[in-house]
């Protein structure tokens, strides 16, 4: 290679060229790791591309409302950082995160009755990275991972990318069915296998909106202890409670021996700052830190400084209270709209907190197809299939109530109700059955899918 002794300005950058040919692609394909075969993008990718149109009322996202965060306070906090600690805030930080960030985390967890050892905490780039790092630490290809059915749709691609065998345990209105979990563990035992962890969102679950009962929480924790299994408790929404009494997190019940905890600032402050955390026993944490080092060295220093400033003002709980007020109104608006616009055969959950409602329709309605129809009415939701690894959930949907205004929610639900009505009526015309009784069994033979008896709130009859 010729040595240049003058610095030549490079040519103006060219936009990267698209792949020239299919054979180029196949050349890349030959380089792909085995795991990319199971790294699947969402089945509804192209449908979802349409939901991004500005004229669509989207009940599909999971966005918290960041519109009421006071801009003046934000400006003041960032200004203080710039004036007082610019050099540090622009520098790398420790892999585990700053001690000051961890102090904020301990304060947040304390608000839900937990008292973690700061040494057990690692600051991550969002809660999502915590899921990734735990899989990286614990999962070999083919290992069993247990989660709820339905489960957080964003966890599935992580489990898949580590080639886990994902086993889903049904939920009802009281969360994961622990009896079914025990049966599954027995079965795995007989096969000589042990799941690497049991992933659960016990409080205001994404997507179902259900909360695990105290009794099941206790059983789950006892089970984990007796069998020496890890439970991964993902708790992004615990502080967003609009009604009912708080339940102790699994981490609190267990004391942190067999429960690994994942938290995040996304839903109580901002998802844009990408700050989450994991709490794990020291031997697990040691490996997680190594994984984090390899992944991105450290979490954003700048946003950790922001959180420090924000918490120093001492008004973070007030802000959560204001969010709770907003979300409660939106949940109420959505539930009222569901009552009014969804047909009697539909059921849905009525969460006491969080961001989501899960609605289940008659078994002959496929919500992916329904989405296509709904998009023509300029409204979107997440088809239930996205929350399962095995194609179940076809007649369910996830509805978000945190992102839109109450008017948008009412209008969105009205439009979805309209397209459901059309399908119910059409099915009636096709089968000669009048859509009368709320039922889970029409002429369609029951195949065991989605017979999840979530709390029924739609009015029966008709």
Partner 1 sequence: MKVAVLKGGRSLERGVSLRSGARVEDALERLGHEVLPLEAEGDLVKRLAAGEPDVAFVALHGPGGEDGTAQELLEILGIPFTGPGVAACARCIDKVLAKHELRSAGVPTPDWFAFNETAFRELGAADALGDLEERLGFPLVVKPSRGGSALGVRFAENWFDVPEALVSAFSYDSRVLLERFVNGRELAVSVLGGEPLPVVEAIPRAGDSYDFEARYEIGRTAFVCPAELSGDETATVTEAALGAYEALGCSGFSRVDLILGPDGPQVLEVNAIPGLTDTSLLPQAAEAAGMSFEQLVEKILELALAPARA
Residues at the contact surface with partner 1, assessed by CB under 8 A: 15, 17-23, 25, 29, 32, 36-37, 40-41, 43, 45-47, 49-50, 53, 364-366, 369-370, 372-373, 375, 423, 425-427, 429-432, 443-445
The smaller minimum CB distance to partner 1, of residues 30 and 283, is found at 30
Rounded to 5°, the CA angle 121-123-128 comes to 110
Supply the minimum distance, in Å, between the C-beta of residue 16 and partner 1.
9
The smaller minimum CB distance to partner 1, of residues 6 and 41, is found at 41
- 50 by Cβ neighbours in 10 Å (0-12 / 13-18 / 19+) ranks as middle
| Placement of tokens 């296509």 in the chain | 372
The smaller minimum CB distance to partner 1, of residues 188 and 372, is found at 372
Supply the minimum distance, in Å, between the C-beta of residue 364 and partner 1.
4
The smaller minimum CB distance to partner 1, of residues 429 and 437, is found at 429
**Torsion over CA of 215, 219, 220 and 226, rounded to 10 degrees?**
160
Helical packing angle, 126-138 and 282-296, nearest 10° = 110
Is there a contact between 438 and 344 (Cβ–Cβ < 8 Å)?
Answer: yes
What are the distances in angstroms from CA 263 to CA 104, 123, 284, 299? Answer: 12, 9, 17, 14
Per DSSP, the residues of 386-429 read GG-SSS--TTEEEEE-SSS-HHHHHHHHHHHHHHHHHHHHHHHH
Supply the minimum distance, in Å, between the C-beta of residue 157 and partner 1.
14
Supply the minimum distance, in Å, between the C-beta of residue 369 and partner 1.
4
**Torsion over CA of 308, 310, 312 and 317, rounded to 10 degrees?**
-120
Supply the minimum distance, in Å, between the C-beta of residue 22 and partner 1.
5
**Torsion over CA of 381, 383, 388 and 389, rounded to 10 degrees?**
-120
Is there a contact between 198 and 179 (Cβ–Cβ < 8 Å)?
Answer: no
Supply the minimum distance, in Å, between the C-beta of residue 367 and partner 1.
10
The smaller minimum CB distance to partner 1, of residues 24 and 318, is found at 24
Question: For residues 399 and 346, what is the distance between their CA atoms, to the nearest angstrom?
Answer: 14
Supply the minimum distance, in Å, between the C-beta of residue 410 and partner 1.
23
The smaller minimum CB distance to partner 1, of residues 297 and 429, is found at 429
The smaller minimum CB distance to partner 1, of residues 40 and 194, is found at 40
Tokens of 359: 């609605």
Is there a contact between 167 and 139 (Cβ–Cβ < 8 Å)?
Answer: no
Supply the minimum distance, in Å, between the C-beta of residue 377 and partner 1.
12
The smaller minimum CB distance to partner 1, of residues 25 and 460, is found at 25
């Amino acid at each position: 290679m010729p040595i240049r002794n003058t610095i030549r300005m490079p040519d103006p950058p060219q936009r990267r060229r698209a792949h020239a040919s299919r054979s180029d692609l196949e050349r890349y394909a030959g380089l792909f790791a085995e795991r990319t075969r199971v790294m699947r993008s969402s089945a509804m990718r192209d449908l979802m591309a349409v939901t991004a149109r500005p004229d669509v009322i989207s009940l599909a996202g999971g966005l918290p409302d960041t519109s009421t965060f006071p801009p003046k306070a934000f400006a003041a906090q960032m200004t203080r950082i710039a004036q007082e600690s610019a050099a540090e805030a622009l520098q790398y930080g420790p892999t585990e995160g700053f001690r000051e960030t961890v102090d904020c985390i301990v304060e947040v967890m304390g608000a839900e009755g937990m008292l973690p050892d700061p040494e057990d905490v690692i600051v991550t780039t969002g809660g999502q990275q915590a899921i990734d790092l735990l899989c990286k630490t614990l999962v070999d290809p083919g290992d069993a991972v247990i989660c709820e059915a339905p489960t957080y749709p964003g966890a599935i691609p992580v489990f898949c990318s580590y080639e886990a065998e994902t086993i889903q345990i049904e939920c009802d209105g009281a969360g994961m069915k622990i009896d079914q979990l025990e049966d599954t563990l027995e079965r795995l035992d007989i096969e000589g296998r042990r799941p690497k962890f049991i992933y659960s969102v016990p409080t205001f679950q994404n997507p179902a909106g259900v909360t695990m009962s105290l009794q099941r929480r206790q059983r789950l924790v006892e089970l984990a202890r007796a069998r020496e299994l890890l439970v991964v408790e993902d708790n992004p929404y615990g502080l967003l409670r609009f009604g009912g009494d708080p339940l102790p997190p699994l981490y609190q019940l267990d004391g942190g021996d067999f429960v690994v905890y994942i938290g995040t600032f996304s839903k109580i402050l901002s998802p844009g700052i990408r700050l989450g955390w994991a709490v794990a026993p020291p031997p697990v944490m040691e490996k997680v830190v190594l994984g984090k080092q390899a992944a991105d060295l450290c979490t954003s220093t700048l946003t950790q400084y922001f959180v420090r400033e924000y918490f120093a003002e001492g008004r973070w709980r007030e802000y959560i209270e204001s969010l709770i007020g907003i979300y409660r109104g939106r949940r109420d608006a959505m539930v009222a709209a569901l009552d009014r616009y969804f047909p009697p055969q539909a059921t849905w959950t009525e969460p006491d907190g969080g961001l989501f409602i899960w609605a289940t329709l008659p078994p002959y309605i496929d919500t992916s197809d329904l989405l296509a129809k709904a998009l023509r009415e300029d409204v979107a939701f997440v088809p239930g299939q996205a929350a399962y690894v095995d194609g179940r959930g076809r007649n369910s949907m996830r509805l978000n109530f945190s992102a839109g205004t109450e008017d948008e929610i009412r209008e969105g639900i009205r439009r979805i109700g309209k397209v459901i009505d059309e399908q119910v009526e059409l099915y009636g015309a096709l089968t000669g059955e009048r859509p009368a009784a709320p039922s889970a069994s029409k002429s369609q033979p029951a195949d065991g899918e989605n017979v999840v008896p979530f709390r029924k709130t739609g009015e029966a009859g008709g």
